[in-house]
Each structure stands twice: as structure tokens, then as C-alpha cells.
Structure 1
Amino acid sequence: MFWQSIRPFRNWNPWNDLEQISTRLNRLIGGDEDMDKDNTDMVAGQRLAQCSPRYAYWENDEAVFLAMEMPGVNEKSLEIDLQGNTLSVSGVMDDFLPEGFNKDCRVGSCGRKYARQFSLGDGLNHDEIKAVMKDGLLRLTLPKIKTTASRRIEVQGD
């Protein structure tokens, strides 16, 4: 019997209580219940949850290959920017509703926005980067700058 009385406290999380207080205060002042969350954007009247896509990379002598999971994103809604040595990738999930359904979303997030940045090293050829989007997987090939082989220089005396 003792364990039954303690059990409700096992799953208690104080952050949930703070979240509920914040939501109630926002409703009281007439604000949106999600207005204090910094991980959302308003795009085309819909609230999109932003997340960082999962990625993996491989490297060989010629290039770095980067793969990122971005389900629901097509090549038209994908943006890849390179500024200096910072590669920024972002994309918005396509509208998946069939015709005749209202886009007004009442529960959960209506869509998803992916965003991630990478710091690139100096040994990559920024002009030759290639990107392919297929089946929700973005594949980036970042070729390395070809360096000349080192050689030994003979020193001659007078």
C-alpha cells in the first residue's frame, strides 16, 4: 500500500507545471499559447516546429559526403547557403493535406521546418559542392582541394 501512495510522484515533472502556468497566463492576456516558444516560426499562417535534422558524414581522400534526413521536404522548399566557411541548410515540410481539408491546425504542429549549420574546414572546394535531394534524404558532396604532394628540397652549400 505504501508504494501505491508514492506512485503518483514517480512521473511528476516540475517543468510541466511551469509550462501550464505560462500557457494559462498567455491565454489570460489574450496571447497565443505558443507565443513564448522560441522554436517556432509563422510561415504562410501556419505554426511550424523547427528541428535540427539528423545527419551523418563520411570522408575519404577526395571529398566529404554529408547525408541529412529531411522527410517531407522536396528540392523546391530546400535552401542551402554558404557564407564564408558556414554552410546553412534549411527546408520546410511540404503540405501533406488532401484537397478539401482545412489547413487550420488545432492540435500539435501543422508542419516542420528543418535547419542546421555546419562549419567547414579550409581544405574544401566551395565552388564544387553538389547537392541531391531524394526520398527525404539530402546528399551533399563537398570535394577537397587537391594539394600537391610534398617533396624534399636539396640544400646546396657554397
Structure 2
Amino acid sequence: MDNPYQAPAAPVLDLPGSASKNFKLFKISGIALATFLGSPIAGGILLAKNFSRLGKPRQAKMALIYSSLAAFVLLAIAFLIPDRWHVPNYPFLLVQLLTMQQVAKNYQEADIREHEAQAGAMASNWLAAGIGLLTFLALMLAIFAVIVAATALGWAGTPD
């Protein structure tokens, strides 16, 4: 015998703008944290992930390109400043951190807020920290490899 109180079986429609969001976005704070721990490259990776998940592949590619370019420019400036100038390190950190945070706010804050309002899941800031630390490790390994190669080829080292 059928249950008269049972709800009828009907397909569930996924309407545009509905609350079902099956992807996670990184918060602005996660992007800033990754940038703090792993350079603008790490922040750019998270920006690119958000753009990709939002269906904006062109912006994702540009985020990676511009954040990598910014990191290498900052790194080059840091290496070119003579030691006798005694420039502290924190201005470089502040510039990259505040710039990446502002870029994330300008380009993704509205999408992130809309995603949250529609009950969309947010990626963990611990994951953002892990991506930042892994990016830092990769950068240090790359810099070490360049220094070792330059020394082995005689381009750097102690003068004779």
C-alpha cells in the first residue's frame, strides 16, 4: 500500500542563481595570507583558482602572469639594492601584501560575497597557508639552483 504522506518524486532543478554552489572560493584573507607566506606568486595562484572556478579562464591566466611578473620584479629590485643602503625588508613585504589584497578586493570581492550569500563553500585559510608555504619552498629551491649554477659556471662567487 502506498504512503499518502510521502512526497512525490520529482526531478530537482538547478536554477541559475540558486544556492547550490559545488565549488570553493578562497577568501580575500586567504589570498593575503598566501601572499604573505609565499610571495605574490602564491596570491596569484589563489586568484587564478578563484577566477577558474568562477568561469573566467582569461582572468585566471592574467592573474598568474602578472603576479609572477610582480614577484620577479620585486626579487630583482631586492637583489640589486646595495647592502650599504641598509634598506629593511618589510617595505617589500608590505608592498606585495597590500597590493595583492587590493587586487583581490577589486576583482573578486563581489563574486566572493555573492558566492557566500548563495551558501557557497569557502576554501580553508589553512589550505591557502599551505599553498603559500609550498610556493615559498619552490621559490627558495629555484633561487638556490640559480646560485649553485652561477657559482659552478664561474658567474658568481668570491673574487680571485
Compute the TM-score of the two structures, normalised by the length of structure 1: 0.19
Larger Rg: 1
Q: Which has the higher strand share?
A: 1
Compute the TM-score of the two structures, normalised by the length of structure 2: 0.19
Q: Tell which has more relative contact order, 1 or 2 (C-alpha 8 A, sep 6+).
A: 2
